A and B are shown apart, each in its own frame.
Chain A
Amino acid sequence: MLVKDSVNKQTLQKLKEKLDKGLMPQWAVTDKDIYELERRQIFGKTWQFLGHESELKEPGSYVTRWIASDPVLLVKTNSGEIKAFLNSCTHRGAHLCTADFGKKKTFTCPYHGWSFNLEGELVGVVSGKKVYGEKMIKDEWGLRPIPKVGMYQGLIFASLDHQAMPLEDYLGDMKWYLDILLGRSDGGMEVRGVPQRWTAQANWKMTQENFASDPYHVQTNHRSTVELGISPSDPNFASYGHQIVLGNGHGLSIMTSATGKSPYKYQTLPESMWPMFQRNLSPEQNEIFSNATVFVGGMFPNLAFDSPVHGMEGEMINYLNLRIWRPLGPDKVEVWCWFLIDKAAPEEYKEKAYKSYVGSFGPSGTLEQDDTEVWARIIQVSDALMMEDKELSYNNVNNYLLGEDVFEPVENFPGPGVAYPSTYTDNLARSIQKRWFELISKGLLDEEEDSQ
């Protein structure tokens, strides 16, 4: 008999009871059985971020990406369409293209030489009919397309699920805020170079929460950057503003200042760009954007963004950072971090924005370094037996009661979603957990499905 219960209906029911009270049982964060459910029911079902359209410059451009453990080949076809395939040869399954990016007309497997064009069609079979005869229908052996591919404001997503809801429905009200971050400038945003990649001891849920819904950690964890003038100078800067809970486990915090207006109008972007913002965005979006110091949030399950102001040489500069937490197990993530800036920004500003990013986020970032420390500390204790106790005989639940009974949603917030009048609240974290639970428990708690 197993000492520890596997995840069954009863444990899920208890998990739900705790979550409903704002308590996250610690065992569930890194549990191996839960992780397997996450892999199949979350990463196998939801829309996953693959990259930005500016990374695929011309026909034949490609990048290779991962959806958790599924290798993805993302290409721009001759007609300019973006397509995604399983990056695995259809002959023996070998990893087809191991380069990070490049430009090609055909992809040839180094094993037996089968080759595929940008449409994923099998166009070359070594020795062809001599060995396969007339029976082989090449059309049946093309690369396997990723079931769903979609794009919003230049962000390319895909889903392994044929039944996935349309991307725009999935993003829902988040689109309104993505329009501010990505659609404010003529020509949109552009990725500089390639994403930074590194591995961290971390659980993907905790890193997502760290970015998407937890401004409360900034005050302590990132205090050094306030002391040194890398971050806005008010030690409480991350608390002012609103936390906005959107549907589907998405949401964000929009930080302002003690006065409700940012000292950095339009996040320090040059005044010459403001009329363009006013033209491309609605008055409500402009009101929010012009008064914001930081936008930080996430799209379920593992895409997070940060559009802050930071600077290593005293001057505050804005940029957009997108990141995914690719899970490599319950206790390890591979972080992919993209730097983006408005294509229409002056070159001088773009350069400063890039330096501001490198100094603040990514593996060498003066903020992110301290994040990695705390992600690892959660993992280091995760095997504790006391955390496995599913009864409340020990205090083995994490606290998600920040702001509970303190902050009520505000009325007349200019944007969609449920907005709370402080970023120091766990409302968004709880909505992410709610979505997470719905997906991992799907079919396991439902009476009708169980009886079938």
Chain B
Amino acid sequence: MSMELQFPNTQVNSELQHEITQFLYHEAYLLDHHMYQEWHDLLTDDIIYRMPLRVTTERRDGSNIVDDMTYFEETKKSLETRVKRLYTKSAWVEDPRTRQRHYITNIMIKPGANSDEYNVRSYFYFKRSRASEHQIEEIIGEREDIIRKVDGQWRIAARTIIPDQTVLTVMNLSMFL
């Protein structure tokens, strides 16, 4: 499943690197400010949004990512259902609202399969504060995206979120990553 993004990352110019980086920061801003509808608009109609499971395996047994089971296996439509839920009056887990930060770093870009697409890898560090709890929850990992330009606008056409923990220590995944 790896896109094998090799370093040095010289295949896109700094202007494009800047544009896509700013796009991902904008996306993080929308999520951190509960602008879920606006976030949903950033996704292409054919988006594949997945979050496979990380597992502990011995090296001889190969990959430590299980693709068969996920935390997210979403289409634009199922994500719309999730987004709409957050605007109901009974999505208790986000009402009162949690406070979230998505830190997106280590952005590596290379041209994708189509001329208007780029394969983008980023690391994420997500922190969440709930009610008056002292402990801040966190989840870390990386994302493999396909970012596509549609009618002059950047859109997310695919995202695979790979967590580093085999046992998540966030009490739920009410956020999008």
Binding site for B on A (CB under 8 A): 98-104, 192-201, 220-225, 227-230, 312-313, 334, 339, 354-355, 358-359, 362-364, 366, 368-370, 372-374, 376, 380
Q: A103-B61, A197-B166 are in contact. Are A312 and B82 (CB under 8 A)?
A: yes
Does B81 lie within 8 Å of A366, measured CB to CB?
yes
14 pairs, CB–CB < 8 Å, chain A vs chain B:
A99-B57, A102-B58, A193-B69, A198-B167, A224-B89, A224-B90, A228-B88, A312-B78, A312-B81, A354-B73, A358-B70, A358-B71, A359-B73, A372-B172
B92 CB within 8 Å of chain A: yes
* CB-based nearest A residue for B67: A193
Q: A98-B56, A192-B68, A312-B77 are in contact. Are A199 and B169 (CB under 8 A)?
A: yes
Contacts of A380 in B (CB 8 A): 131, 133
* CB-based nearest A residue for B78: A312
The 3 closest A-B pairs by CB, nearest first: A193-B69, A193-B68, A364-B173
B150 CB within 8 Å of chain A: no
Give Cα A67 to B69, complex, Å.
Answer: 23
Contacts of A222 in B (CB 8 A): 90
Minimum Cβ distance to chain B for residue A196 (Å): 7
Give Cα A99 to B167, complex, Å.
Answer: 13
B55 CB within 8 Å of chain A: yes
Give Cα A366 to B173, complex, Å.
Answer: 9
Residue in contact with A355 in the complex, picked from B73, B166, B168, CB distance below 8 Å = B73
Give Cα A193 to B68, complex, Å.
Answer: 5
* CB-based nearest A residue for B169: A199
Q: Mark B35-68, 1 if CB is under 8 A from A, else 0.
A: 0000000000000000101011110110000111
B170 CB within 8 Å of chain A: yes
Does A223 lie within 8 Å of B90, measured CB to CB?
yes
B154 CB within 8 Å of chain A: no
Q: Which of A221, A354, A359 has the most CB of B within 10 A?
A: A359
Contacts of A312 in B (CB 8 A): 74, 77-78, 81-82
Does B171 lie within 8 Å of A196, measured CB to CB?
no
Give Cα A374 to B60, complex, Å.
Answer: 42
Residue in contact with A313 in the complex, picked from B56, B78, B172, B174, CB distance below 8 Å = B78
Contacts of A362 in B (CB 8 A): 71
Give Cα A374 to B131, complex, Å.
Answer: 13
Q: A100-B57, A224-B85 are in contact. Are A198 and B78 (CB under 8 A)?
A: no
Minimum Cβ distance to chain A for residue B9 (Å): 31
Contacts of B57 in A (CB 8 A): 99-102
Contacts of A363 in B (CB 8 A): 71, 168, 170-173
B3 CB within 8 Å of chain A: no
Minimum Cβ distance to chain A for residue B109 (Å): 28
Minimum Cβ distance to chain B for residue A289 (Å): 26
Give Cα A170 to B171, complex, Å.
Answer: 32
Please give 5 more A-B residue pairs, beta carbons under 8 A apart, in addition to A193-B68, A228-B85, A364-B72: A102-B61, A196-B71, A199-B167, A220-B90, A372-B171
B136 CB within 8 Å of chain A: no
Contacts of A223 in B (CB 8 A): 88, 90
Q: Mark B72-99, 1 if CB is under 8 A from A, else 0.
A: 1111011001101100111111000000
Contacts of B91 in A (CB 8 A): 224, 369-370
Minimum Cβ distance to chain A for residue B160 (Å): 14
Give Cα A99 to B63, complex, Å.
Answer: 12
Minimum Cβ distance to chain A for residue B74 (Å): 8
* CB-based nearest B residue for A225: B85
Minimum Cβ distance to chain B for residue A234 (Å): 16
Does B171 lie within 8 Å of A200, measured CB to CB?
yes
* CB-based nearest B residue for A97: B58
* CB-based nearest A residue for B70: A358
Give Cα A99 to B64, complex, Å.
Answer: 10
Minimum Cβ distance to chain A for residue B156 (Å): 18
Does A100 lie within 8 Å of B81, measured CB to CB?
no
Give Cα A372 to B72, complex, Å.
Answer: 17
Contacts of B130 in A (CB 8 A): 376
Give Cα A320 to B17, complex, Å.
Answer: 45
Q: A224-B85, A312-B82, A366-B82 are in contact. Are A196 and B69 (CB under 8 A)?
A: yes
Q: Which of B149-177 contact A (CB under 8 A)?
A: 166-174
Residue in contact with A197 in the complex, picked from B51, B82, B93, B168, CB distance below 8 Å = B168
Q: A363-B71, A363-B172, A364-B71 are in contact. Are A194 and B85 (CB under 8 A)?
A: no
Does B172 lie within 8 Å of A364, measured CB to CB?
yes
Minimum Cβ distance to chain A for residue B98 (Å): 10
Does B93 lie within 8 Å of A358, measured CB to CB?
no
Contacts of A364 in B (CB 8 A): 51, 71-72, 172-174
Residue in contact with B81 in the complex, picked from A334, A339, A358, A359, CB distance below 8 Å = A359
Residue in contact with B171 in the complex, picked from A99, A201, A355, CB distance below 8 Å = A201
